[in-house]
């Protein structure tokens, strides 16, 4: 994959390779958040002199570690393809490029069929423009 500047075709090809990984990262993020919330609730019970199941606490800690490692693997795959993660929950992925001599990103959001947008690197998602304007 390109080291710093993608053509639109290269960005679309890279997206085809990582699209599933982005979706898996989103799923992992949801599971990780759920596990962390369960751990926090269990720890609050413990702090309030509640009886905490040590086995449940161990299982949740183990699950949190596993999910964190899964997330790190997904992130490594995505970034190794040259993409930049801009938002896990939204599935926002940018691919660096240069358009009309200015630094920019090809921009994709989970749920979109293809990369059809770009924006200057000095702005973000809210300033997306159609690739036909590139």
Number of domains in the chain: 1
Residue 3: inside a domain: no
pTM for this model (two decimals): 0.87
Q: Does residue 38 lie in a domain region? A: yes
Domain for residue 74, yes or no? Answer: yes
Identify whether 118 is part of a domain.
yes
- Tell me the per-residue pLDDT of 39-90, one tens digit each, with 9 for 90 and over: 988 877 765 555 567 788 889 999 999 999 999 999 999 999 999 999 999 9
- Residue 132 has a pLDDT of 93
Q: Is 43 part of any domain?
A: yes
Residue 65 lies in a domain: yes
Is there a domain that residue 2 lies in? no
Q: Is 1 inside any structural domain?
A: no
All residues at 6 or more sequence positions from 15 whose CB lies less than 8 Å from its CB, including other chains: 83, 93, 95, 108, 114, 115
pLDDT of 34 higher than 80: yes
Which residues constitute the domain of residue 50?
8-133
* Whether the predicted pLDDT of 4 surpasses 80: no
């Amino acid at each position: 994959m390109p080291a710093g500047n993608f053509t639109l075709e290269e960005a679309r090809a890279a997206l085809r390779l990582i699209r599933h990984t982005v979706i898996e990262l989103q799923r992992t993020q949801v599971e990780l958040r759920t596990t962390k919330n369960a751990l926090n609730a269990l720890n609050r019970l413990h702090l309030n002199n509640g009886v905490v199941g040590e086995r449940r606490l161990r299982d949740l800690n183990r699950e949190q570690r596993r999910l964190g490692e899964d997330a790190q693997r997904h992130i490594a795959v995505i970034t190794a393809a040259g993409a930049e993660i801009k938002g896990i929950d939204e599935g926002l992925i940018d691919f660096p490029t240069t358009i009309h001599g200015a630094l920019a990103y090809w921009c994709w959001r989970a749920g979109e069929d293809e990369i059809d947008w770009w924006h200057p690197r000095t702005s973000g998602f809210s300033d997306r423009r159609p690739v036909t304007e590139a």
